[in-house]
Amino acid sequence: DAGITQSPRHKVTETGTPVTLRCHQTENHRYMYWYRQDPGHGLRLIHYSYGVKDTDKGEVSDGYSVSRSKTEDFLLTLESATSSQTSVYFCAIGSGTDYEQYFGPGTRLTVT
Amino acid sequence: AQSVTQLDSQVPVFEEAPVELRCNYSSSVSVYLFWYVQYPNQGLQLLLKYLSGSTLVKGINGFEAEFNKSQTSFHLRKPSVHISDTAEYFCAVSDRGNKLVFGAGTILRVKS
């Protein structure tokens, strides 16, 4: 998985609780992305980062925030989880030069 | 905004038969095109990409795709599939930036 880890890999949480997912890379890539995968929708971009402390919204950013204080770490936070945020979350990285993205193994989040 | 349409949600095929997975995109500007594969409970892996040059692109595992600008299509083909090709396949497009828009995915089921 191109030196990308995600933690936790599985999480069950209750509605209304905050949740933070972590993505860690060892490739020193500039770009990092958070996607969610839902049946029938493919992957949809939540937020992305183009450098330390530089982030921008994606297609489905409502209810999510991100932070990137170091090149290697990109955090996704659900401030108050809802059942509609039950999904599989993927982190991806990219160098920005070949336009490829490399994906992590995913985090399965269930909000009850 | 760009969009990607994968015309078949599922494609069943017998082992050793040829297969085509169809992808159309909406952008009228120059684009980069990608096909990714996702095996069960794993992240996405790049199969092939088109950035420029020859419109016939060869990828890993015997897959190839043809870029057709006039029809805004990027169909994926394999002349003879194996059981191990059973997976979900995603087409993605970039408008030459560093963000990808994914299609909803096509599940390829190879039967013996």
Instruction: Say whether pLDDT at A86 is over 90.
Output: yes
Residue B93 pairs with which residues in a beta bridge?
B33, B101
CB-based contact A96 B103, cutoff 8 Å = no
Classify strands B106-111 and B56-58 as parallel, antiparallel or unpaired: unpaired
| pLDDT for the residue numbered B110 | 97
Tens digits of residue pLDDT in B15-56: 999 999 999 999 767 789 999 999 998 899 999 999 988 999
Instruction: Say whether pLDDT at A1 is over 70.
Output: no
Q: Where are the beta strands (DSSP E) in chain A?
A: 4-7, 10-13, 19-25, 31-38, 42-51, 54-57, 64-70, 73-78, 87-94, 102-103, 107-111
Tens digits of residue pLDDT in A2-47: 699 999 999 999 999 999 999 999 999 999 999 999 988 999 999 9
The shortest C-alpha distance from B6 to chain A (Å) reads 10
Instruction: Give the residue, A80 or B53, on which the prediction is more confident.
Output: A80
For all residues of chain A together, what is the average pLDDT? 95
For all residues of chain B together, what is the average pLDDT? 93
- From the CB of residue B68, how many other CB atoms can be counted at a distance below 10 Å? 12
User: Which residues on A lie below 8 Å from B106 (Cβ)?
Assistant: none
| pLDDT for the residue numbered B8 | 95
User: Which residues on B lie below 8 Å from A101 (Cβ)?
Assistant: 46, 100
| pLDDT for the residue numbered B105 | 96
